[in-house]
Structure 1
Amino acid sequence: MNIPAIQTALLAVQIPETERTLGSEKAVQSVEEKADGLHVKLQFGFPVHHIGNEIANRVQEALIAHTADAAIHLSIDTAIDTHKVQPGVSTIKGVKNIIAVASGKGGVGKSTTTANLATAMARMGARVGVLDADLYGPSQPTMLGVAGIKPEQHNQKLLPVEADSGIQVMSIGFMVDTDQAVVWRGPMVSQALQQLLFQSEWDDIDYLFIDLPPGTGDIQLTLSQKVPVTGSVVVTTPQDIALIDARKAVDMFNKVNIPIFGVLENMSVHICSNCGHSEAIFGSAGGKNLAERLNVPLLGQLPLSLPVREAMDGGSARQLLEEHPEIADIYTRAAFQIALAVSDKGKDFSSRFPKIVVE
């Protein structure tokens, strides 16, 4: 076999759902001819489980002219790195990348979006965590099906609760009664957020999604100053009043040097479960126009959906994506774009450097 020709053919293979190639992503790790055929090892800096079969098919098609009847043994692996965050903030042990999910306005489905993006990312093969930073109204334990569970402790740290999708979850909702109001001033809220994040023993998380509360107040300020954020996602509805607040969230992230990976438009249309008629009851193209103005991707447009609402109330995000492929496809495409945006950022090498002590 002509190994240089095989390598050239491999580098040109396009990665599904992207404009990228194996060559542009430096994904080809090794190509070896052995007694039982050709062995090809690929490694990606983002999760590819959801497109693994398609990658294998494209590799097969690209190499068949070069291998004749020889068997092709393909190995696909991922190695997700820690990427750069805002200046002056150190990364967290056990967490590689943090993605803040914000809206600026309440009631637009930000928590629902966080839960389903995290579930989609886990289904794609990544190790995922969710930090519920909406301390006044924590909803992630309910949405991810772990409400009522108390976190265990190990080495004076809290162990995140694991949902059935494998997602590691931490929330103030585990610590307080669901009917109990959290009546705290700003400094207490900021301290609680830091404790939930820094005093939890996260276990090798590739992507930690932080579900932010509405607004641009104390929690958001703490996040920007003390939490290593890789990037953010802005959730909005097409409604003008929601877009006004979404722009405030965008402005906040711009001021604190946190990049925006994209805009996700929720409740874009209502589809009648009886007749199938669709109606844009909150307006149309608002999220699309906001994304174009910011020059960031529109990650997706989600309909106002009864199955989504039922799944969030019932704590069955994983089951939702398994049983409703059309909904799963929207969240998966959005999560994949986020993962690609993270991989495009510069890598963080600070953890590899020894600490210098001046005596």
Structure 2
Amino acid sequence: MIMDRRSVLAGAVAFGAALGVETAFPSFAQAAIPLPDGFERMPLWPGAAPGGAGVRVTEVSALRYPELGTDTLYQDHVVTPTLTMVRAKRPNGAALLLIPGGGYRRVSTGLEGYVIARRFADAGYTCFVLSYRMPADGWAAGADTPLQDAQRGLRLVRSLATREKFDPARVGAIGFSAGGHLAAWLSTRAPRETYAAIDAVDRQPLGVAAAALMYPVVTLRDPLAHAGSREQLLGANATADRIAAYSMEDTVMPSPPPIFLAHAFDDKTVPYQNSLVMAAALRAQGGAVECQLYEAGGHGFGIGPRAPAASGWSDAYLRFLARHGV
């Protein structure tokens, strides 16, 4: 894990003192759908996201169930990726980056973002929900486009540590479904630069202190692959080498950060064996791993009463974070 506490602290302090986060970003127009109370949104990049010359899509934000409000917000064809922050009521000095799923077709910002952020903010964590670009929308980075946003998002979170009063070395992550694939990519592989540095934010180190991978897409190999995520990421006719390169059980770095996994046996979208494959790969590299497998819950159980058998995962992850000092 590329993260030295002294260098992280020094970078965060220097950035805050030199620029001040309030003046580091351009003005940002809020979406037509209002933010939930207590949440603040900021752009991920200080201008247009990189590599957009060939992008012709139009960003769409909508409510899956309008009668339930912003907790069902989703975003298609993200053009302006963002972080949306909610502060902890009683801060514990740590932060979490939340990466919603959506099969690399969309971002389930509400159900796997806002709802989860409230739960962990109540437990003391400053939470940041990542809205990220899709790999098939024509961005120059192609399959690496979501990773660009995840890396920038992690660095931006860390740059806010001084202002928001959390320890930049105590930043964890939670990823859901395809967002779990992206969280694994961000946290369990040796960091590599996917974009040219733009500003002081990009001097912040990569690496998380711990991560949760929730019903994650892990392998892109049949028969366990989620075909939709694989096609969005790599196209319909990906070679075996490309599939291997983007299967997260391959090339897990030595001594990865502590990883928590949760999956339901009756998941008919992403087979539960994805979590088992990832747990084995992490253990083979000496990682600390906890894997919760639930009797029922299906796919996308999120949090709350809809899947009572799987509803205890947030408490289990909080205990896991506490054991590992996050």
TM (norm. structure 2) is 0.40
Higher RCO (CA 8 Å, separation ≥ 6 residues): 1
Higher radius of gyration, 1 or 2: 1
